[in-house]
Structure 1
Amino acid sequence: MNVLYLTVLENTERNNIHENQIFGLRSTDINYKFLFFSPFFILNRTHLKINRNRFYKSVDCREFKIPIFSYNFYLHVILLPYLLLCVLPILIYCIVRYKPRIVHTRNLLSAFVAVIAKKISRNDFCIVSDPRSVYPEEGVIIKRWKYNRFNYRMWKKIEAWTFKNSDACLGLSELFKDYLMQYNRKSYFIPAVVNELNVFDGGQRKMLRKKLGIADNDCVLIYVGSIGLWHDVNTLIQIIKLFALKNKNFKIIALSSSLELKHKIMNNFGEKVLFCGTVPSIKVREYLTASDFGIIPGSAKCGYAYELLYETMIASKAEEYLCTGLPIIVNERIVNLKQYIERNNWGIVYSGEKKSFVGNWEYLEKERKEISSEALKLFSVNVVKMQLKELYKNLLNLNNEFVNK
């Protein structure tokens, strides 16, 4: 079975997401070809540079640099013709050459381009739209356009048209699947993948805590990843301060490149903080194993865009926490994750409005192993591979029924 996995305008430079969530799907049963259209110019808050990354050069992968800024991932609709001009000729050529039965698209831009390519080329393949998030609302949050103005309204129309013209849609959470169902009845919940090496190891935990200078009676909170948009640093600080009122013996581990986070967390908690910056994936697992709770802070910011985002997201870092047997402190606004936590007794729910916690604070080694085992049944890479294989077969009429677990 030939599957073309397509991404458009995602920055591939030093991107662990591609390594873990995309290349992790490689399988002996499915012949994947990975096709990346990445921005040529990397633009962030501090500098502009040319993307010279060649990390993804391999037999099953092709990467093409588009003369566009990474800033334009949230694309103003006036630039859509330019994007199509850059991508469509190469994409159609690759479709004709590889003859995929399935084109699996990651993000709304990729799905939109794939639908256009199918209509132009008249090739017979199925499109699996895997949008990963609510793109029009994210554009509002990141301040690329304003809610209910021209760009937002146009992207909502493009979103609806793209999903309706896809053969199947995938949601990273159950509530995201429900959101997609309004556009396409063939919508399924298939989560982001987590490496199966993320398993709780009690023996390693004791050794790591000793190595890090963590006492047996210290309760360790950990935060991993970027902060500032989906997760707010002030909300994170509020959660830790509320926790500090209940437990004086605590430590904080922060694995992030955010200077804002480093500054604020050090100013508020000083010697209780172990700020490690960005570390390799294997080291992340070690820090998670040594910790007692992972924090998913969300944000206190209001508005329809935030409400829809938090209703439909789970957060891949939450899945990684759970697969490592780490209970979670989650903001109640992140609805689907909150439901998992409450249903399975996997941590604590934080209410920003009530300034309170609800949940279990005591997790023995046995219980952490159970959390890890149950979470891996939902989020591990092998489970996701099996679900995708069944979905592909169903779309190609090779299987009578796809069971969405």
Structure 2
Amino acid sequence: MTKKILFISYDGLTDPLGQSQVIPYLAGLTKYGYCFTILSCEKPQRYALYKRDIEKLLSSFDVKWFPIVYHKKPPVLSSVYDVLMLKRKAKFLHSKESFDMVHTRAGIPSLIGLWMKKKFNVKFLHDVREFYADSRVDGGIWNLKNPLYKIIYKYFKRIEEEEVKHCDGMVCLTYAAKKIIQQRPQYSQKVFLEVIPCSVDMQLFDPERIDAHQKAAVRKQLNISANDVVISYLGSIGGWYLTNEMMMFYRIILDKNPNAKFLFISPHEPAIIIDIGVKFGIPKEKIIVHNAQRYEVPLLLSFSDYSVFFIKPCYSKQSSSPTKHGEIMAMGIPAISNSGVGDVDEIITGAKSGITLKNLNQQEFESVASLISDRIKFDSKIIRNGAREYYDLQKAIDSYKKIYTTILTKPA
């Protein structure tokens, strides 16, 4: 019998994360007889640009999509309004579909999942993609010196305890997070808890599928020569992403390698990124900024000799599995990252897929920059095999299938 699942995401399907970390999983699960209704919050500008693309993508699968508008301003009140709209829409959809399970990400979506569990006794899969409340504090979004944000923080910490206590199953991204969750007094060993890191589509991110003629044209467009040493960064900047430290690191690389260039594959305005670099004495022409749709990312990554990502090593980031890491590894590119972020250190070491820095300081930067100058070698095939072992999309889909089966066959 077909099982009906309501999936709630505060990330829009038109957002990069929606396209890489929502649609591929659910599309894969439809092959096992699950029927999905997706309720997502869409940013108006992106929705207008990519609505038809997403609809076309979903049309091949047993998936219904109900987008609502995401609101950013005014702070707090806009989020409260979004919660009310999500709850209203979820209630309406449940009255029509009678869902067997609600699957939500942490934060605002899980508020709705917990509510549906309590009100309608719908089975509830709590997908802890991050330690939500702490990530907001660590990322500088919630300032606890502000009494209002302190109240909000305490509220979400209390709700997190309830979600752990009442959910029918849990997913987290890292083994570091799993250890923390299992130590919480609200956690019961009877509740299924699976580690499923942010996965990568190994077919999309495949260096063998890069078109040589297309790459040559883009190389010319980006003014990248065959002799350039390309350091790339993939994704957003700011918040938990340590852009200043990455610029400091690249400045040292540039001192040792005058032909080094820094390629940002990022949605941010080029001027913003270039201005940060200029503050560190980096010439404008050494920084390349290019926005890309998901299908364009593999080609752009393929220019990389190394790809760097420094992330704030804080409590909440123990729950983090950077999407970019799997994509970088799938392309056979060595990653340069810092310790203290989820399982990244263990994966890079285990897969022999790059370098981790224990500290983000001058001494460490100099040391790694020297390795780059000496053309330290990594085996791209070994790195790609590591991506297949740790981050393969099909493995993630199989893991979700297992937890779906466990929850949905469990007596109410």
* TM-score (norm: length of structure 2): 0.80
> Deviation of residue 348 (structure 1)?
1.4
User: Which residue of 1 is the match for residue 360 of structure 2?
Assistant: 352
For residues 215-253 of structure 1, the C-alpha deviation after alignment (integer angstroms, 9 at most, x for no partner) is: 554321001111011112211101212323443332221
Within-5 A mapping of 1:171-190:
171-181=172-182, 182=184, 183-184=186-187, 185=189, 186-190=192-196
Distance across 1 between alignment mates of 2:179 and 2:380? 30
Alignment-derived partner of residue 254 in structure 1: 264
Distance in structure 2 (CA, Å) of the matches to 1:70 and 1:347: 37
Choose between structure 1 and 2: higher helix proportion: 2
Paired with 2:252 and 2:360, the residues of 1 have a C-alpha distance of 10
Distance in 2 (alpha carbons) for counterparts of 1:83 and 1:257: 24
Q: Is the 8 Å Cα contact of residues 3 and 30 (structure 1) preserved in structure 2?
A: no
**Could you say if the C-alpha distance between residues 203 and 364 of structure 1 is closer, same or farther in structure 2, counting changes exceeding 3 Å?**
farther
| Larger displacement relative to structure 2 (171-180 or 145-154) | 145-154
The aligned residue for residue 324 of structure 2 is 317
| Structure 2: gaps of 5 or more residues | none
Report the Cα offset of residue 281 of structure 1. 2.1
1:292–1:353 CA distance, 2 compared to 1 (3 A): same
Amino acid at match of 1:105: T
Matched with 1:101 is: 100
Total equivalences in the alignment = 376
Whichever residue aligns with residue 70 of structure 1, its letter is: K
Aligned to 1:45: none
Structure 2 CA distance, aligned partners of 1:199 and 1:50? 27
Match of 2:65 in 1: 62
User: Relative to structure 2, which stretch is displaced further, 334-343 or 262-271?
Assistant: 262-271
> What is the match of residue 281 of structure 1?
294
Cα pair distance change 1:347/1:354, threshold 3 Å: same
Q: Offset of 1:24 from its aligned partner?
A: 0.9
Identical amino acids, percent of aligned pairs: 17
Distance 1:145 1:373, change over 3 A: same
Does the residue aligned with 1:268 lie in a helix, a strand or coil? coil
| Alignment deviations for residues 95-115 of structure 1 (CA, whole Å, 9 cap, x no partner) | 343333332112322222112
Deviations 1:26-79 (A, max 9, x none): 13113231322426x75xxxxxx796674455562232425x62357x857x97
Q: Is the 8 A contact 2:174 2:320 kept in 1?
A: yes
CA spacing shift, 1:296–1:65, aligned 2, 3 Å: same
Asked if structure 2 preserves the Cα contact closer than 8 Å seen for 1:199 and 1:324, the reply is yes
Match of 2:277 among 258, 262, 265: 265
C-alpha distance 282-167 of structure 1, shift in aligned 2 (>3 A): same
- 1:290 matches 2:303: yes
- Deviation digits for residues 282-337 of structure 1, max 9, x if unmatched? 321012122111111224xxxxxx61123221211111111111111102242521
**d(CA) in 2 for partners of 1:288, 1:325:** 10
Call closer, same or farther: CA 1:8–1:215 in 2, change over 3 Å: closer
The question of 1:121 aligning with 2:120 is answered yes
- Structure 1 position 384 matched with structure 2 position 396: yes
Contact kept in structure 2, 1:288 and 1:321, CA below 8 Å:
yes
**Which residues of 2 match residues 76-115 of structure 1 at below 5 A?**
85-115=84-114
What letter matches 1:391 in structure 2?
I
Once the two structures are superposed, what CA deviation does each residue of 1:157-188 show, in whole Å capped at 9, x if it has no partner?
A: 11111122111111112212222222434322
8 Å contact 2:124–2:168 — kept in the other structure?
yes
Q: d(CA) in 2 for partners of 1:326 and 1:162?
A: 38
CA RMSD of aligned residues (A): 3.2
Q: SS of the counterpart of 2:144?
A: coil
Between 219-228 and 142-151, the greater mean CA deviation after superposition:
142-151
Letter in 2 for 1:127: F
Supply the distance in 1 between the matched residues of 2:73 and 2:336 (Cα, whole angstroms): 32
3-state SS of paired residue (1:355)? helix
Which residue of 1 is the match for residue 346 of structure 2?
Answer: 339
Matching residue's letter, 2:193: S
Over 3 Å counting, the alpha-carbon distance change for 1:219 and 1:51 in structure 2 is closer
* TM-score normalised to structure 1 length: 0.81
Residues 14-25 of structure 1: pairs in structure 2 closer than 5 A? 14-25=14-25
Between the aligned partners of 1:137 and 1:327, the Cα distance in structure 2 is 30
Secondary structure of the structure 1 residue equivalent to 2:282: helix
CA contact (8 A) 1:2 1:99 kept: no
Determine the C-alpha separation between the residues in 2 that align with 1:17 and 1:337.
19
Distance 1:338 1:201 in 2: 27
Contact 2:174 2:318 in 1 (8 A): no
| Alpha-carbon contact 1:104-1:129 (below 8 Å) kept | yes
Check whether the contact 1:199–1:373 (CA below 8 A) recurs between aligned residues.
no
* Aligned match for 1:29, one of 32, 55, 64: 32
Instruction: Give distance in 2, aligned partners of 1:84 and 1:364.
Output: 50
1:207 CA drift (Å): 8.2
